A and B are shown apart, each in its own frame.
Chain A
């Protein structure tokens, strides 16, 4: 079935469709081949230019600088600029989360008074937010065609021909590439045609069908397209910025918000000529990439641990603390030196302790980390990977991260990123990914993609006061009023998969747009709010989605543990300060399929692994890894690196154990006194997991016959990375007040013991004359005085 194409995505998936609503537009464009787009959602279209007093102004202003280069702007040229009937209204409104009926057509001419009234009438709830005022100036650009430009880039990546067997090692890469072909996802065609503004209420159905159409449409771009404003004579160095937010109510009742900001720039950093004119792409990063010849850079800061058992899989996994991995260009000669410099520079840019990365915590994984962008590099001597599990992430890391965004925290989705709320959460993770991606379907040229992601999980209990009710305002203490004016796409997705008929919860304002995406092997349905469409904001001029559970008992439903297909845990066994054992448990909960995983663990040198004690067992039997890469540590120079390829039998727990001995450090090597202990970074498990959709053998679901014959649907398997907990290990620590005691004691012992022994050994003993009596002595004195011989 051609229809189903599966994609492995690197990170995520794909995306899909779009529907446009009231607004117009749609094309979906999928994502690029390489796309690891965020959360798999798709992208959509419209944008609003917010606050900029005049958006057009900005564009225009910006453009000149980059002169001829950009022929077709990312935003469908004509319209964006000129067209739009956008009125600029400046108003100050009270934001209310109202549900505005989506149905409203563009709100163009509305008068503010009307709006307010309407909205008031509509919304009852949202008392809290009423007070807040947001000033905003809105300008809408109706951009229908914007997408086009983007699509081009994506398109096809070549597939790599790797034989399937090989996959295991190189798992990740291959998959990715393979999938890419299909970027284009279906929906568009239909919708394009239909996408009139009138039909806002449209919902799609029969998704299966849609998919089928899909990939032929690879071509898509276009239709509406662009008037190629500028004929692209020289390869245009255009750039494009997209932003999106995915909100997913989690199984446990918590809520997960994932931001992704993607900047793609058709500049050739690897080329000879210097890149000196920056527009959307942050200059600070661009210079770093150029100077250090970085091919790919992935950095993440995470506070907290992702609870797979309660939350399922994250869109973008990351280990607690800081993680940094970099692929250098093969032109770099001194990789270690460059790496050292790079970490120090990044440390400054992100205001983090990355400068503590040195040779003792850097490894070169041989198989676990493959390039995510294009380029088929296999020589892992250009790869460096390091984690800092102790790193604490806080506001000072968030601020520089936000500064990389074209709109900063002034407009668009990033207004939600207020640290007082983001850090009042259960999990917080922010990341920056830079990689080269294909610029066009044929992949003749490459672009640089910068993807900034921020994931946060809000706790039901602590922030929700025990009520299962969520709104943007509650989560972020802000509402959305506009899209980033520089963004070609700005969307908010809400995962409504578990709520097909609205029986679980109620989402308001309702949106007519739905989209589907296959995320992590599972098909999810999302409601889409397109911020570039003025209609999304309704009459209140602000978007404050509200999610209300319908359960009569408002309280918490006891969260049940999930059984994710793959999860793991790790702990230190044993007691005492001499030896210990690291246990890594990897669970495969798939009922009938085995799949391979790559386990990577980097253990600091001060835990001396006894590699001969390494055992791997599943279901009580020995499970021989088919590939082992072990690099022993050197004291104070480099850590242990252990990589293994394991086959996890279905429905099993695989246990990897290895014993270690704790080294006694030099006294200056201990951390300053108040310390929790020594951390061992997370292990990384990279796996090709069979898709959940493929696992679904339930044929009772209502779906077209032609789609249900072969058991395998969607991607047969998808790539996933899981991080284990970091470990906290206590090393034998001297009582640092002891040296004084020890010195006193040893000196005494030496003086007394050695001294007397030495005396006994070296002294000659002779019988002493009994000493003369007192009288005799006096007599002798007198005699000596007189010069007479003594007695």
Chain B
């Protein structure tokens, strides 16, 4: 207060900030990055712990005995799948009914905006089959979901087998308090999307589905199982969902607790927890794990079938069986027992999972960083933008008169009329133009695919991606000097005003995004200071991600990957409502164009 109202001290402070602007920014940047990297350092992080009472203290005993039979069922499923060349609906219905479930099916169809070359699908038609195990003496108000995808080829047969085996075993137990829904979804996420939309009777993406006939009330938690081998060496937990949403940390804790209890190796991001945090390799291992999580989250896409549940405020995770060359194997019975234990604990829940964290990063499965710890890292970076903006503001307002009304600058922005008025008008054009370009980038690729296919020898998918890239680059070449036509000569003031606006714009944009999806913001700002280009950032992220996954790619492959990532991003938006593409096209890209504009100001 004193600082603000005392002109002398304020002047001194501002003077210092402008004088030392560059060094301070530098320090903030270093501190921010250091803070962030420190998050992976074990002594700085918290150990995970179970917050939910109902799941923490109660004991359950796992008795699932029928792993072998489940695998046999899985093989039978595989045979029927091969025979029908898709989802063996009839067989599944019969099998589930024989296990005493209420069985329903749901048909759905979806025409993708353009063909998905990765998964080779365009017109998608499928059927979901789900069976509801009704809890005795429960009024159908709550449910849990266990799902397994029906994947093409030989994938995930064992998952379906275990799902059916568990259904049979669960059916004979009396202790269920929540309905349990066993879902086999076709076409992975598309089927899941159809089922969830049908269950909640919403339609956010224009998909066609037949209404569901049976429901179990409000879904409290869901697990998705992916298992493609009879034995596994470890189970991998996947948490990242749509738009970087994460399930409540207690779900991860629950998984970890049962892995420990039953003695199964468990990983997240495919990385085992390590104890040697004080060695360099141990630390870099943690950094890798965390960075993988950050990048996956930043991608805003669901990394497992569970990802779509999160939109409906249903805590969900995917469990993937990994079969590597390690000698120690875990059989299907053990996996079944693990799931049984988790479901029994979830069944004990007296409330929705909400006690633990929803925003966190995991440098390993046993450690987590909560939002309170990682936000300062972002704060330090955001501070740079604000300091730059302050610097510009001071530069804009101070030259004219130093003697008049000094009290105003920070608080009454329009008090310096002369320089600002031409500025406001002159920055309007670049703002409008860059946003129009953004809109074009958002809409044109999909709209113009037919046109592109007609005139160029490319497939639809390539057409979309290449159009996007073309528009993106074309944006750079737009006439950025149009302001001169309107406002006359570009002035020194002009570009400063524009830069000020752009910096503030970016700060607000990043601040808002960080609240929703921290991971989306930090890498961009933290790792690529100066290079603000979303396209390059994405390219870099692709390579970096492959590097972290220990599957480095060559430039050529990387480029192909880059193209497919773009098309997947557009598809994710169209199919599931992922926000990354519109965010990048409508906001980040125009913002970056403003900066680009400054280069051409004169």
Contacts and interface: CB of A to CB of B under 8 A. Distances in A.
Interface of A: 303-305, 307, 309-310, 320-321, 389, 423-428, 459-463, 466, 556, 558-561, 569, 571-577, 581, 583, 673-677, 679, 725-730, 735, 752, 755-756, 759-760, 763, 765, 768
B98 A574 contact: no
Interface string B95-126: 00110101000000000000000000000000
Interface stretch (B170-178, B269-277, B281-289, B563-571): B170-178
A751 to B, nearest CB: 9
A431 to B, nearest CB: 16
Interface stretch (B135-143, B230-238, B437-445): B135-143
Given A425-B136, A461-B100, A677-B351, 15 more contacts: A424-B174, A461-B172, A462-B136, A559-B97, A559-B100, A561-B102, A569-B215, A574-B201, A575-B200, A575-B312, A583-B201, A675-B351, A730-B352, A756-B4, A759-B4
28 contacts: A304-B137, A305-B139, A307-B102, A389-B139, A423-B137, A424-B174, A426-B134, A426-B137, A427-B137, A459-B174, A460-B100, A462-B171, A462-B172, A462-B174, A466-B172, A571-B217, A573-B200, A573-B202, A574-B200, A574-B202, A581-B201, A583-B201, A676-B350, A728-B141, A735-B354, A756-B1, A760-B4, A765-B7
B411 interface: yes
Nearest to B172: A461
A216 to B, nearest CB: 47
A766 to B, nearest CB: 11
A489 B172 CA distance: 38
A573 B141 contact: no
Contacts of B174: 424, 459, 462-463
B407 A765 contact: yes
Contact of B1 (A571, A573, A730, A759): A759
A581 B407 CA distance: 54
Interface string B127-152: 00000001011111110000000000
Interface in B317-367: 350-352, 354
B94 interface: yes
Nearest to A723: B139
A674 B311 CA distance: 23
A468 B339 CA distance: 29
Closest 9 CB pairs of A and B: A320-B139, A573-B201, A728-B141, A304-B137, A558-B97, A674-B350, A426-B136, A756-B1, A303-B137
Contacts of B525: none
Given A310-B102, A676-B350, A730-B352, A305 B200 contact: no
B201 A558 contact: no
Contacts of A558: 94, 97-98
Nearest to A427: B137
Contacts of A305: 134, 138-140
A727 B215 CA distance: 11
Nearest to B8: A768
Contact of B142 (A559, A676, A760): A676
B5 interface: yes
B54 interface: yes
A304 B7 CA distance: 73
Nearest to B3: A756
A430 to B, nearest CB: 13
Nearest to B53: A674
A726 B201 contact: no
A240 B414 CA distance: 93
Grouping DSSP codes into helix (H, G, I), strand (E, B) and loop, the B interface class, with mixed when no group exceeds half, is loop
B201 A571 contact: yes
Nearest to B312: A575
A660 B352 CA distance: 22
Contacts of B202: 573-575
Interface string B1-41: 10011011000000000000000000000000000000000
Given A307-B134, A573-B201, A673-B351, A556 B140 contact: no
Interface in B254-297: none
Contacts of A583: 201
B218 interface: yes
Greatest chain B CB density within 10 A among A425, A428, A735, A765 is at: A765
Contact of A571 (B4, B100, B215): B215
A563 to B, nearest CB: 11
B313 interface: yes
A759 B350 contact: no
A321 B97 CA distance: 29
Contacts of A674: 53-54, 350-351
Contacts of B173: 462
Contacts of A571: 201, 215, 217
Nearest to B100: A461
A728 B218 CA distance: 7
A309 B214 CA distance: 10
A556 B201 contact: no
Given A559-B97, A574-B200, A304 B139 contact: yes
Q: Which of A461, A561, A574, A674 has the most CB of B within 10 A?
A: A461
Interface in B203-251: 213-215, 217-218
A461 to B, nearest CB: 5
Given A575-B313, A730-B352, A725 B171 contact: no
Contacts of A577: 313
Contacts of B134: 305, 307, 426
Nearest to A252: B100
B211 to A, nearest CB: 9
A675 B140 CA distance: 16
A759 B312 CA distance: 48
B141 A679 contact: yes
Contact of A461 (B137, B171, B200, B215): B171
A427 B5 CA distance: 73
Nearest to B213: A569
A561 B218 CA distance: 23
B102 A728 contact: no
Nearest to A559: B97
A768 to B, nearest CB: 8
Contacts of B136: 304, 425-427, 459, 462
B352 A677 contact: yes
Given A752-B1, A756-B5, A765-B7, A725 B141 contact: yes
Contacts of A728: 141-142, 217-218
Nearest to A426: B136
A755 B140 CA distance: 55
Contacts of B217: 571, 725, 727-728
A572 B218 contact: yes
A556 B54 contact: no
A307 B214 CA distance: 11
A676 B350 CA distance: 6
Contacts of A677: 218, 351-352
A304 B407 contact: no
A556 B168 CA distance: 12
A29 to B, nearest CB: 36
Nearest to A393: B137
Contact of A556 (B100, B213, B352): B100
A310 B101 CA distance: 11
A727 B141 contact: yes
B351 A309 contact: no
Contacts of A424: 174
A91 to B, nearest CB: 36
A679 B217 CA distance: 11
A425 B174 CA distance: 8
A674 B312 CA distance: 20
A245 to B, nearest CB: 21
A307 B354 CA distance: 31
B139 A321 contact: yes
A755 B5 CA distance: 11
Contacts of B7: 765
B201 to A, nearest CB: 3
Nearest to B4: A756
B331 to A, nearest CB: 25
B137 A726 contact: no
